[in-house]
Amino acid sequence: MISSREEVTRMILSAKVSKGIKWSQVTQATGLSKEWSTAACLGQMTLDKPQAEAVGKLFGLSDEAITWLQIVPYKGSLPTAVPTDPLIYRWYEMVNVYGTTIKELIHEEFGDGIMSAIDFKMDIQRQADPNGDRVNVVLSGKYLPYKTY
């Protein structure tokens, strides 16, 4: 018996390693972006039944695990402490260093509001560079103004 969505994530990661599955294969199975598909497999998004079944077939998951993929997860995958994984820490560092700059520039351009992480798109690509390949990340979220009442 599966008792949490985190157990299903562990099953997916274990099958990914043992079967040599790439996230691009999950994208082909779900018909969703690699970013969304990966987030769903890591327990941060909800899949509909056909998408969950496609993921289940790819990873060899049980019907119970497939059902868990359709349940709205508790979002937020990072611990409350400073992350220790070097790649995740660099994102944490970027927000610490540039967060107030991003906030200022968004407010100056749009006004008092936020960038949505719900109405949101992300694209991660490799960018060739003679000085060493670069990671190109594009984040695009809908602007949501605060309302007065």
Pick the catalytic residue from 104, 116, 134, 140.
116
Catalytic site residue 90?
A: yes
- How far is 14 from 103, CA to CA, in rounded Å? 38
Which residue in 90, 104, 134, 140 is the catalytic one? 90
**Catalytic, out of 18, 93, 134, 140:** 93
Q: Which of 148, 145, 140 is nearest to 114 (CA)?
A: 145
Distance of alpha carbon 143 from the chain centroid? 19
Indicate if 93 belongs to the active site: yes
Query: Is 134 labeled as catalytic in the residue annotation?
Result: no
Comparing CA positions, the residue from 113, 18, 118 lying closest to residue 59 is 18
- Residues assigned a catalytic role: 90, 93, 116
